[in-house]
Amino acid sequence: MLLRKRKCSYLGMLGGRTGIIRAAALALIAAMALPSSAATDRAVKTKVPPVYPELAKRMKITGVVKVEATVDADGKVTGVKVISGNTALQNAAEDAVRKWKFASGDATDTVSVDVNFAMNN
């Protein structure tokens, strides 16, 4: 009885290069089919500055908090979500952006906003 050594590799499981190309093409098609959540640009009519958290002041924490704001057709902020930034500054950034007023638009949009926290000497 002759035993054959079976070749088992990732390429073999996908059918060689053709399988990899097919898998990449399927992944690309799937990514293109998903709706994008691109943020739009709307002019800010009223910008309320954030209240610098006392603890962050004492610790001399500075930086930018990136926020996504959901803005209705009238320009009112209906939702706020922090994308990145120091956790000591995030709540203050959210509270400030909730009070902002944007230019009117055709529909509800998502707007990306950077809230900068800097120490004044």
Q: What is the pTM of this model?
A: 0.66
Please give the share of the chain, as a percent, with pLDDT higher than 70.
Answer: 66
Residues 23, 19: Cα–Cα separation, whole Å:
6
How many C-alpha atoms does 36 have within 13 Å on its Cβ side? 5
Q: Which amino acid is at 7?
A: K
Q: Which residue in 117, 100, 92 sits closest to 42, CA to CA?
A: 100
The average pLDDT across 99-112 equals 93
Look at 8 and 96; give whichever has higher pLDDT.
96
Look at residue 23 in the predicted model and tell me its pLDDT: 56
Look at residue 32 in the predicted model and tell me its pLDDT: 39
